[in-house]
Amino acid sequence: MSANMEFVFPKDFWWGSASSATQMEGFSEVDGKGKNIWDYWYETEPNRFYQGIGPDITSQFYTKFIEDIQLMKETGHNSFRFSISWSRMFPNGRGDVNEKAIVFYNHVINTLLEYKIEPFVNLYHFDMPMAMQEEGGWESRSVVDAYVQFATTCFSEFGDRVMKWFTHNEPIVPVECGYLYGHHYPALCDFRKAVQVGFHSILASAKVIKVYHEQSLGGKIGIILNVTPSYPRSNQPADVDAAEKADLLFNRSFLDPSVKGRFPAKLVDMLQKENFLPKYEAEDLKIIDENTVDFLGINYYQPRRVKAKESMSNPDAPFMPERYFDYYDMPGKKVNPYRGWEIYEKGVYDILKNIQVNYGNIECFISENGMGVEQEDRFNNEDGVIQDDYRISFYEDHLKWIHKALHEGVNVKGYHVWTFIDNWSWLNSYKNRYGLVSVDLQDDYKRTIKKSGYWFKKLTENNGF
């Protein structure tokens, strides 16, 4: 290790990146894979997708995974998170398993292990099988049961080698984007359904944790949450109250039941007062209470800034979270202009301290952190290597705060960037690039390590910078 390292991390720190099946596998109708909601939505409304690029044209990990895993090794990964596509495993969401999917995921897992990269496997990343969506998706208890069957199959097929499992990635996102704001299918605006979807997602997570622990496979199972800190405009009571309500709806709605086994009383009161409590059975709360996570993945990109309502909501408009707060546009904030997102590095420290103080200092890691930039080929040098110094700075500036939290006793075990390779991003397709490795869509999906990829290798070799 070089003597002048200012930020040194533990020698067993998890360095790597995160991805998802729909965003990088491609080949969405190959080898028996069933349609998921993205395949269906692209077929029916391609205009919603940037430049009309759908989930079939992604980074082609399905055929290029061996090359990609070699590149992970070359960029210093010791761990890699990917998701298993439910509709590739079960084309109809339940019933007969697709043997070709098992062969594929076994091959991926075994190749990772061969290169000494630990597989972190996530079971659900926004990709409801279309057959299950037709049954109501997460609104439906029968879909919760089908998901438990899917997860149980994954544990029995892959659980002898995979020791880090996750039930969901960012389960608040399907709630917000699918049932409130229209960014994901089914693109509804229905608060009652949104609450039910959230409740069933948590119930499904707890049921799967129960199954995993009963199988005594020797690993750990957690959940990955985008814990976006809510900052009030001022310390005036009305602003503070607005921030607390945003935090209850968007963060604690999943964080508390996942880690503590119960929903926050204040959130329950809010929902009860507005007559929006979900339908549930008495046994559900017991299952949630008794099956909490072993560890926690935390995704962080940007903060949420809020203020007290400036004006009354239209009482006849659909009920939305914004009944309780307005967004606050803080003057002078640092922004990623391509994504429109604020860059606030201290946010990651504030999240970690919150976990330390209020959630029993549960073992956790930063499971996503990254910066999307448009038209990165502007930054190619003469060798065709993208000089993404802005991304390196972004990572370093966040790692400094993670390092501080670590030294204050936070039980943070790793740092995964989003993402290893430029990938397809839901409605934005390839508009913003996030990878340590670039993909040339015009030249047979050629992979080229970016400057940040070489930096990442050095970071992980030195366990710091």
pLDDT digits (tens, 9 = 90+) for 260-319: 999 999 999 999 999 999 999 999 999 999 999 999 999 999 999 999 999 999 999 999
Cα dihedral 204, 208, 211, 217 in deg (nearest 10): 180
pLDDT of residue 1: 45
Tell me the DSSP string of 62-92. Answer: HHHHHHHHHHHHHTT-SEEEEE--HHHH-TT
Provide the 3-class DSSP secondary structure of residue 42. Answer: helix
Tokens of 33: 């894979």
The answer, yes or no, to whether residue 2 has pLDDT greater than 70, is no
CA distance 265 to 271: 10
**What pTM does this model have?**
0.97
Give the model confidence (pLDDT) of 10-52 as tens digits: 999 999 999 999 999 999 999 999 999 999 999 999 999 999 9
Q: b vs e for 28-62, b when ≥16 Cβ sit within 10 Å of the residue's Cβ?
A: beeeebbbbbbbbbbeeeeebbeeebbbbbbbbbb
Give the model confidence (pLDDT) of 430-448 as tens digits: 999 999 999 999 999 999 9
Domain range summary for the chain, segments of one domain joined by +: 14-229+250-262+272-301+310-462
Instruction: Give the Cβ contact number of residue 231 at 10 Å.
Output: 19
According to CATH, the topology of domain 14-229+250-262+272-301+310-462 is: TIM Barrel (3.20.20)
Residue 368 annotated in active site: yes
pLDDT of residue 105: 98
CA distance 296 to 282: 26
Distance of CA 135 to the CA centre of its chain: 24
CA distance 458 to 86: 36
Provide the 3-class DSSP secondary structure of residue 194. Answer: helix
Answer whether 237's CB lies under 8 Å from 181's CB: no
Give the model confidence (pLDDT) of 377-433 as tens digits: 999 999 999 999 999 999 999 999 999 999 999 999 999 999 999 999 998 889 999
C-alpha count within 13 angstroms, C-beta hemisphere, residue 145: 5
Which among 313, 184, 186, 304 has a CA at the least distance from the CA of 249?
304
pLDDT of residue 140: 98
Instruction: Give the Cβ contact number of residue 147 at 10 Å.
Output: 29
Could you tell me what percent of the chain has a pLDDT over 90?
A: 95
The answer, yes or no, to whether residue 343 has pLDDT greater than 70, is yes
| Active-site residue identified among 118, 157, 368, 376 | 368
Question: In the structure, what pLDDT confidence band is assigned to residue 3 with cuts at 50, 70 and 90?
Answer: low
CA distance 70 to 153: 28
Q: b vs e for 105-135, b when ≥16 Cβ sit within 10 Å of the residue's Cβ?
A: beebbebbeeeebbbbbbbbbbbbbbbbbeb
CA distance 152 to 86: 12
Q: Across the chain, what does the average pLDDT equal?
A: 96
Query: Sign of dihedral through CA atoms 323, 325, 331, 336?
Result: negative
Tell me the DSSP string of 288-317. Answer: HHH---SEEEEE-S--EEEE--SSPPPTTS
Enumerate the β-bridge partners of residue 380.
386
Tell me the DSSP string of 198-253. Answer: HHHHHHHHHHHHHHHHHTT-S-EEEEEE----EEESSSSHHHHHHHHHHHIIIIIH
